[in-house]
Structure 1
């Protein structure tokens, strides 16, 4: 199962989409855009999971595809 995560950057000025918590793919200004992109990638690579993290890097929400 592939894992994707959406987390704020260290300054909380942007949101980063990561694959397998290793390689950042893109950085977005808006959280919603980052979540949308992570969902899109997860949908194309089933089975997969998306975790949305808050500024403390705690899981806020998790989705499975």
Structure 2
């Protein structure tokens, strides 16, 4: 797919980090709860869909491309 710009390890890290932040947001009682949840949700979403808009903005790509025949 043309829009995938994250490799497996990058995606796995994002899914773990996003899930951890969302879980942590349920256990704290501060005003930062909504912000931590929102950041965790965005990180989790970019890990699931394998596309990071910041990578696109800077032209980065962590996905290795195989040779086309």
The answer, yes or no, to whether TM exceeds 0.5 is no
The normalised TM-score by structure 1 is 0.26
Greater Rg, structure 1 or structure 2?
2
Which structure dedicates a bigger proportion of its chain to helix?
2
The normalised TM-score by structure 2 is 0.26
Which structure dedicates a bigger proportion of its chain to strand?
1
